[in-house]
Amino acid sequence: MRILIAGFLHETNTFAQRPADYENFVNGEGFPALRRGEELFELAAVNIPLGGFIKAMDERSHELIPVLWCAASPSAPVTSRAFELLVGEITQGCRDHAPDAVYLDLHGAMVTDDYDDAEGEVLRRVRSIVGPDVPIVVSLDLHANMSSTMFEIADAMTAYRTYPHVDMAETGKRSVELLERLHRGEELHCAWRRIPFLIPINAGSTNLEPARGIYATLDGPLTDGYDLSFGAGFPAADIPDCSPVVWGYGPDAQRLDAFVDELAARVARHEGDFVPELLSPDGAMQRASELLASGTRPIVIADTQDNPGAGGEATTTGMLRSLLKHNIAKSVLGAICDPTVAAHAHEVGVGATMTARFPGSPYSGDAPLEHEFTVAELSDGYCRFDGPMMHGNELHLGPSALLLSREVGVVVTTRKAQIMDRNQFAMVGVSPEAQNVVVVKSSVHFRGDFQPIAGAVLVAQAPGPMAANPADLSWTRLAEGVRVGPLGQEFHRSVELSGS
């Protein structure tokens, strides 16, 4: 086969304020920077689906036609400009090369200025060019918000099975296997079911139950030959398709239906178990003090509502304010994105004292913070991931600094990125395993590299743009009857649900 390969990923938080424009995809913002043509092969060693697809193809004789791969940090909807420019490159590649098959590395929860179902629109345009007989196989994020259009157009779709997403490359390899089955002429039936409640992202970690047990059932001797997926959905997209979905592909339609029905029933049985434990900033610090007193360390605290990986801007001050208040020895927060503060630190230099003025955010309860710090370390903001989450990825966060106030440190960067790897602290001289308290602007992805060294993991609910409880959001466009959280209130268009 001559296989066209491309990727275009974005997870859209329609309640966030800053959109994703073309330049955000060029930089990558925590993902690999945009690649074109032969540059895509540079990603073979990175733990992303495209990397896994390319590596799996090394053992096969097919020809790969690389077009474009890009991603941007979750945010408000993608601009029309960015969408048209990037999708335009993919569709032009389809016209120029007339491939025998297409592999697309997509997210599944992209919303744009013009399209609620952006992935459905990408697939529609690609299909209109390559025709009905060219197989299209798609890899998806575990948090995809699936549409009927996606199921109608794609020949096969498979999603990550871990959160943190440490199996992205494996998902790309499964995409190769599905594509080869289609190429051999095998008929793959499809079945899918919607789950009628939103799942908070903190509760969906496969390090924890019930998600760990549910995903463990997707593979096994009974399901051999059937590719099953559980998309937990991204519960911050105010669109009708926002909800978890289970689906699968396989050779026998009746047996496949039974597998998918059982998977949906298993998720439903655990609805009440998807309620996460959330602590206030001071509550998290108090719990951390108690655990430290018992000899447990380090304590890793997720500043989940300012997670740049879910629409946050890495600017909120709630957890930093609490750290400064409690002043626990060897405490550090990473990372606040503030180009002005980072530049000031570089101007005054290591050892100097400076006043940092963090503006906070427009979200209720998140006030500006002005405080005096000592500049402890400076960095150019480059780091390479050595942990399992997106292993091999390179970040360029711009001028960065470690600021200290008594016993508390804060990492400040010029560009935002979710904390996923311990090297994001090491780049400014901090060893997370040597700390007592490590606060990360992340929700779950940090667990891949931090949970192995953590004495305990806590989740703090400081004010910010990514509601840890989806019931706190002001929904207006969900599908009728979807519950806005596990065992939560049903959404109805005739009833206005106001967030808190």
pLDDT at 128 over 80: yes
pLDDT higher for 421 or 497? Answer: 421
pLDDT, tens only, 191-202: 999 999 999 999
Q: What pLDDT band is residue 340 in, cutting at 50, 70 and 90?
A: very high
pLDDT at 161: 97
Q: What pLDDT band is residue 319 in, cutting at 50, 70 and 90?
A: very high
Average pLDDT in the 51-75 region? 96
Cβ atoms of residues 361 and 465 within 8 Å: yes
Q: What pLDDT band is residue 499 in, cutting at 50, 70 and 90?
A: very low
Amino acid letter, residue 44? A
Average pLDDT in the 327-344 region? 97
Question: What is the spatial order of strands in the sheet that 35-36 belongs to?
Answer: 35-36, 63-71, 2-9, 101-106, 136-140, 156-159
Q: What pLDDT band is residue 497 in, cutting at 50, 70 and 90?
A: low
Amino acid letter, residue 279? L
Give me the count of residues in the chain. Answer: 500
Helix or strand (DSSP H, E) at 183: helix 168-183
Predicted structure pTM score: 0.92
Q: Looking at the structure, do residues 261 and 301 belong to the same domain, yes or no?
A: no
**DSSP β-bridge partners for residue 404:** 374, 409
**DSSP β-bridge partners for residue 75:** 12
Encoding tokens for residue 37?
Answer: 């043509």
Q: Looking at the structure, do residues 258 and 319 belong to the same domain, yes or no?
A: no
pLDDT at 220 over 90: no
Q: Looking at the structure, do residues 99 and 243 belong to the same domain, yes or no?
A: yes
Looking at 230, 254, 274, the residue that finishes a domain is 274
pLDDT at 495 over 70: no
Would 481 be classed as within a structural domain? no
Q: For 10-14, 57-61, 97-101, 269-273, which range has the lowest pLDDT when averaged over its residues?
A: 57-61
pLDDT at 309 over 80: yes
Q: Which residues of 248-272 are buried (b: 16+ CB within 10 A; e: fewer)?
A: bbbeeeebbeebbeebbeebeebbe
Q: Looking at the structure, do residues 286 and 310 belong to the same domain, yes or no?
A: yes
pLDDT at 500: 34
Q: Looking at the structure, do residues 456 and 331 belong to the same domain, yes or no?
A: yes
Q: What pLDDT band is residue 223 in, cutting at 50, 70 and 90?
A: confident
Q: Looking at the structure, do residues 265 and 356 belong to the same domain, yes or no?
A: no
pLDDT, tens only, 236-269: 999 999 999 999 999 999 999 999 999 999 999 9
Q: Looking at the structure, do residues 355 and 387 belong to the same domain, yes or no?
A: yes
Q: For 61-65, 139-143, 405-409, 490-494, which range has the lowest pLDDT when averaged over its residues?
A: 490-494
pLDDT at 224 over 80: yes
Encoding tokens for residue 338?
Answer: 């503030």
Cβ atoms of residues 475 and 497 within 8 Å: yes
Encoding tokens for residue 483?
Answer: 């519950």
- Give the C-alpha separation, 318 to 301, whole Å: 13
pLDDT at 357: 98
- Give the C-alpha separation, 476 to 196, whole Å: 16
pLDDT at 17 over 70: yes
Mean pLDDT across the chain = 96
Average pLDDT in the 54-77 region? 95
Amino acid letter, residue 239? I
pLDDT at 493: 86
Q: Looking at the structure, do residues 241 and 364 belong to the same domain, yes or no?
A: no
Q: Is the peptide bond before 164 cis (omega within 30 degrees of 0)?
A: yes
% pLDDT > 70, the chain: 99
Question: Domain range for residue 318?
Answer: 281-460
Q: Looking at the structure, do residues 136 and 229 belong to the same domain, yes or no?
A: yes
pLDDT at 435: 98
pLDDT at 363 over 90: no
